[in-house]
Amino acid sequence: MVAFTIAITSLRKNIKLDLTFSKFVIKPLIAVAIMGICSYFSYVTLLGIITKKLATIVSIIIAVIIYILAVISLKIFSKEEIQMMPQGQKVCKVLEKLKIY
């Protein structure tokens, strides 16, 4: 946490980077909390149904999907940032059709 604070302070000071606290700290923490809670409960639910190893793998897959949905719904990335990603134009078109962005 200390290294993160020093890095952010240095970036803001040296290259005049405008980093909002909510976009880079609060929203990702909310997404991580949602993902963690969902993955825990999916693991506990699946544990009684399937083997431990398979429950772990399925819970990780569910966690990844939940995290992606949380990042999209919290709008952590702007439309321009999404377009810069690989296949970003296609992703943007899908999100626009779904009226998310």
Least confident of 13-17, 41-45, 71-75: 13-17
As separate numbers, helices (DSSP H) first and strands (DSSP E) second, the chain gives 6, 0
| Model pLDDT for residues 61-94, shown as the tens digit of each residue | 999 999 999 998 888 888 888 888 898 889 888 8
Domains of the chain by residue range:
22-97
Indicate if the pLDDT at residue 57 is higher than 70.
yes
Tell me the average pLDDT across 31-46.
94
Per-residue b or e along 34-65, where b marks 16 or more CB atoms closer than 10 Å to that residue's CB: bbeebbeebbeebeeeeeeeebeebbeebbee
- pTM for the model stands at 0.75
Work out the pLDDT band at 17, boundaries 50, 70, 90: low
Confidence (pLDDT) at 19: 67
Please answer whether residues 66 and 35 qualify as being in contact, where contact means their C-beta atoms are separated by less than 8 angstroms. Answer: yes
